[in-house]
Amino acid sequence: MGPSGCGKSALARALAAQCDWRFIEGDDHHLPRNIAKMAQGTPLNDEDRQPFFDSIGPAIQDGALPAAVSCSALRRAHRDQLRRNAPDILFVWIDVPPQELWRRVQDRADHFMPVSLLRDQLATLEPPTPPERFVKIDGMLLPADQLEDVLHHLRSFRRNPQAAPRRSA
């Protein structure tokens, strides 16, 4: 979880591959009209986001294998909605300094999200806090080190079966 440019898709894809889990690309669950809206530089409101969460929540729940999901889940209400479908979800918050996010999003040529929307995402971000189940990952680490941090946290959850997550976002 985190704003655009933090590396959600890359980390979730790597985690899914490492653990032999399903990978769910959150962007695939946006309605075409919402992708067009964002591409034009208009931020989504909660009404726009509702169909996204109505789609991605069941996708997380569907399937016998755990899933690694790329999803911004910027507000606690968004994470609460995902938890209704996946109560044992573990959120992996990839924390990246705003200046680095700006650089990364500006340098991307293959994504619908313009850098102009980053300001809205950063203003919307409500970092997770206890009792939410989350781990905070340093988004400035190399991707392999980020993956190792997540795997370390997952191993520690496995030592406590009551806390073990079946899905990560």
Residue with tokens 């190399």: 142
Cα 89 to Cα 109: distance, rounded to the nearest angstrom: 32
Q: Sorting pLDDT into bands at 50, 70 and 90, what band is 107? A: confident
* Lowest-pLDDT choice from 96-100, 108-112, 133-137, 152-156: 108-112
In a domain, 57, yes or no: yes
Torsion angle, alpha carbons of 152, 156, 159, 161, to 10: -110
In a domain, 2, yes or no: no
Q: How many helices (H) and strands (E) does the chain have?
A: 7, 5
- Quote the number of domains for the chain: 1
Q: Compute the C-alpha angle 51/77/73, nearest 5°.
A: 70
What integer pLDDT is reported at residue 164 of this predicted model?
41
What integer pLDDT is reported at residue 106 of this predicted model?
82
The pTM for the full model equals: 0.86
CATH, residue 33: 3.40.50.300
In a domain, 67, yes or no: yes
In a domain, 43, yes or no: yes
Q: Sorting pLDDT into bands at 50, 70 and 90, what band is 85? A: confident
In a domain, 1, yes or no: no
| pLDDT tens per residue across span 139-151 | 999 999 999 999 9
Mark residue 168 as left, alpha or beta (left: phi above 0; alpha: psi -120 to 50; beta: remaining). beta
In a domain, 108, yes or no: yes
Structure tokens at 40: 């034009």
Whether residue 167 contacts residue 69, with contact meaning beta carbons closer than 8 Å, is answered with yes
Domain membership of residue 142 as a residue range: 8-168
Which CA distances in Å does 70 have to 1, 28, 74? 7, 10, 12
Comparing CA positions, the residue from 9, 24, 77, 27 lying closest to residue 47 is: 77
In a domain, 81, yes or no: yes
In a domain, 3, yes or no: no
